[in-house]
């Protein structure tokens, strides 16, 4: 029996409370891939709420990509599969909070290293100039989602190794302490497979498919300030692109 409850005194909308209760059970593994969720009729009767509210809660889980609906069958768990946001420059923390998930980080390394190769090229730095390197395992509600490695010119964020808690939001610290705001980003997406070490961190099998992201972020004046290489589990993410068709002139239609 799926456990669901709501707090009617809370200012949080009822549909969102239901969504979060179900999402927690999915991320905790109590609801597994393929499990059938209670129907909107069941939720409505059990909680004494309208079917419209119950329907909204179930639909919102489908929009997050963690469930799917089959006409006449019901709503089933598909596991966590989040849509990667390509329309805004957002940190992992911001993206997870926007989806009602708790972002977490496990620090793998946090140090100053000399700029080399693609890092120096992307940040337009002389070879050997110090850069801050932060490598973290990123989690959502304790589920490992990906591994990120960020690089920043050390001169733009002096003292960050002592000032920044690497389990917190990097973007928030850069803005509040150094006045650095990412305005524009260029991101390349490729598909790859995890190594044995990466698979251990992500709790998946070696060779499993992953999305590989390479991102360079810029200030408003066009200066590059961050270079990020990251991988995200292919079974936890989906890439969605929204396309707009421009008006086209196909000429005059000839009628027979």
pLDDT in tens, 53-97: 999 999 888 876 678 888 888 998 876 566 665 555 666 777 777
Q: Which of 64-73, 86-95, 182-191, 208-217 has the lowest mean pLDDT?
A: 86-95
Q: Assess if residue 105 is contained within a domain.
A: yes
Does the residue 247 lie in any domain?
no
Query: What pLDDT, on the 0 to 100 scale, is given for residue 147?
Result: 95
Regarding whether 201 and 100 lie in a shared domain, the answer is yes
Task: Write out the DSSP string of 131-166.
Answer: EEEEEEEEEETTEEEEEEEEEEEGGGSTTHHHH--T
19 and 88: one domain?
no
What pLDDT, on the 0 to 100 scale, is given for residue 3?
80
Instruction: Give domain status of residue 6, yes or no.
Output: no
Q: Does one domain contain both 48 and 109?
A: no
Which is higher by pLDDT, 229 or 242? 229
Q: Is residue 248 part of a domain?
A: no
Write the pLDDT tens digit of every residue in 115-158: 999 999 999 999 999 999 999 998 887 778 899 999 999 999 99
Domain end point (choices 25, 56, 77): 77
Q: Which of 77, 93, 125 is the last residue of a domain?
A: 77
72 located within any domain: yes
Structural domain that includes position 36: 14-77
Does residue 8 form part of some domain?
A: no
Rounded distance, CA 194 to CA 185, Å?
A: 25
Which CATH number does the domain housing residue 33 bear?
1.10.10.10
Query: What pLDDT score does 81 carry?
Result: 61
The region of weakest confidence among 46-55, 99-108, 128-137 is 99-108
Give the number of domains in the chain.
Answer: 2
Whether residue 161 lies inside any domain: the answer is yes
Q: Assign residue 100 a region (left: φ > 0; alpha: ψ between -120 and 50; beta: otherwise).
A: left
Residue 64, pLDDT score = 67
Mark whether 93 and 69 lie in a shared domain: no
Question: Does 124 map to a domain?
Answer: yes
pLDDT of residue 145: 86
Calpha distance 60→20 (Å, rounded):
10
Residues 151 and 224 in one domain: yes
Asked if 212 and 231 touch (Cβ cutoff 8 Å), the reply is yes
- As a whole number of angstroms, the distance between CA 232 and CA 93 comes to 14
- Write down the pTM of the prediction: 0.64
Q: Are 68 and 120 found together in one domain? A: no
């Amino acid at each position: 029996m799926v456990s669901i409850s709501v707090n009617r005194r809370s200012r949080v909308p009822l549909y969102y409370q239901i969504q979060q209760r179900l999402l927690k059970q999915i991320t905790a593994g109590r609801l597994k891939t393929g499990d059938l969720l209670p129907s909107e009729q069941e939720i409505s009767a059990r909680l004494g709420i309208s079917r419209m509210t119950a329907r909204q809660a179930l639909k919102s889980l489908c929009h997050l990509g963690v469930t799917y609906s089959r006409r006449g069958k019901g709503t089933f768990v598909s596991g966590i599969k989040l849509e990667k946001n390509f329309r805004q420059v957002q940190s992992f923390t911001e993206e997870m909070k926007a989806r009602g998930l708790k972002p977490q980080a496990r620090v793998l390394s946090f140090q100053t290293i000399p700029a080399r190769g693609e890092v120096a090229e992307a940040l337009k730095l002389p070879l050997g100039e110090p850069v801050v390197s932060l490598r973290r395992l990123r989690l959502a509600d304790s589920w490992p989602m990906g591994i990120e490695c960020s690089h920043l010119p050390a001169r733009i964020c002096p003292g960050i190794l002592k000032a920044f808690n690497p389990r917190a939001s990097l973007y928030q610290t850069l803005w509040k302490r150094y006045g650095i705001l990412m305005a524009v980003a260029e991101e390349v997406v490729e598909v790859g497979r995890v190594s044995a070490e990466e698979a251990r961190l992500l709790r998946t099998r070696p060779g499993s498919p992953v999305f590989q992201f390479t991102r360079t972020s810029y200030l408003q004046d066009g200066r590059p300030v961050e270079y990020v290489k990251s991988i995200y589990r292919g079974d936890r993410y989906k890439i969605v692109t929204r396309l707009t068709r421009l008006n086209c002139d196909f000429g005059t239609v000839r009628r027979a």
